[in-house]
Structure 1
């Protein structure tokens, strides 16, 4: 079996990401500190419509990263064709273990195996260049600014509930300049009208009800 070797992500000369199609998802994980301790937030954001999905884990690690990828695949209403991550051990093996004799013994990283299973291309940022995963970095920062940097929470569950509410509002009510003042959901709905073949479900089923 040929192992998938993730390719490094590149940017244009102007520092912008090259244009791509819907289904190119940036994934990252960050720590949220709280008076009661800390929790890890995993985040996936599509490069094109900016639609975002998050989950929480007690620990960061490759098993949770692979589980999060599977949940993100289920959450997005269309096929994810490419995933961009950093070079952290949650997403990729050490460079010395990716190719050569060591790869025979180590095998493909579980995150990479999950990508292969779902037909997803896994790309990595350049080592020591975290800003090349800028969309995920910025969204993580936006979430922190809107939550833990602005409010005090009585417990972890209150923090998690606020983060989820913020992301829902962002997806369905935040009009973005980058999307010509559409919301991420409106951008997805527009993509549905132009190319429904890439979708697994009609995105209108994503619209939250009054009790969600």
Structure 2
């Protein structure tokens, strides 16, 4: 209608402990480095680490460092489908399956990041494919 003020789209409120995680490539004159970033949606607490390479083990170590560094409870981690966060071709986090296998005492293979989620009781969610704006807070830091 003419003369009406446009309404702002409101975003859902999140409690502290809901982290977005992503990675960016930083190029210097000498080398290429990888910047791993985690940011809390509510408090804007940020953890940043630089690495010379990216492996699944480093992904797990970064998540352990996040859990240790945050002064409150982490309950959810949102990542994209990168292989350092989840196994290739996953359409959802395998952390619930890993948690069930752990409780049953079964032998299993697990991705490092998802295993850390199971051990620290953190839910792992994946962004929708080809939707980089879902993880926009981390993208802005990168």
By the TM > 0.5 criterion, same fold? yes
- Please name the residue that 1:138 is paired with: 140
Q: Please point out which of 84, 89, 94 is paired with 2:88.
A: 94
- Please name the residue that 2:43 is paired with: 49
Q: Please point out which of 66, 72, 75 is paired with 2:60.
A: 66
Structure 1 residues 59, 50: CA separation in 2 closer, same or farther (over 3 Å shift)?
same
Q: Is the contact between residue 37 and residue 48 of structure 2 (CA under 8 Å) also seen in structure 1?
A: yes
- Please name the residue that 1:18 is paired with: 12
Task: Give 1:129 deviation, angstroms.
Answer: 1.4
Give the superposed CA RMSD: 2.6
Structure-2 separation of matches of 1:114 and 1:19: 26
Gaps of 5+ in 1: 1-13, 141-212
Q: Please point out which of 113, 119, 123 is paired with 2:115.
A: 113
Task: Give 1:61 deviation, angstroms.
Answer: 2.0
Gaps of 5+ in 2: 1-7, 99-106
Q: Please point out which of 70, 73, 76 is paired with 1:79.
A: 73
Query: Residue 34 in 1 paired to residue 36 in 2?
Result: no
- Please name the residue that 2:125 is paired with: 123
Count of residues paired in the alignment: 124
Give the TM-score of the pair, scaled to structure 2: 0.77
Structure-2 separation of matches of 1:94 and 1:45: 24
Deviations 1:128-180 (A, max 9, x none): 2122111111111xxxxxxxxxxxxxxxxxxxxxxxxxxxxxxxxxxxxxxxx
Structure 1 residues 15, 83: CA separation in 2 closer, same or farther (over 3 Å shift)?
farther
Structure-2 separation of matches of 1:124 and 1:18: 18
Structure 1 residues 15, 58: CA separation in 2 closer, same or farther (over 3 Å shift)?
farther
Task: Give 1:62 deviation, angstroms.
Answer: 1.2
Q: Is the contact between residue 97 and residue 106 of structure 1 (CA under 8 Å) also seen in structure 2?
A: no
Map 1:187-206 onto structure 2 (within 5 A): none
Structure-2 separation of matches of 1:137 and 1:30: 9
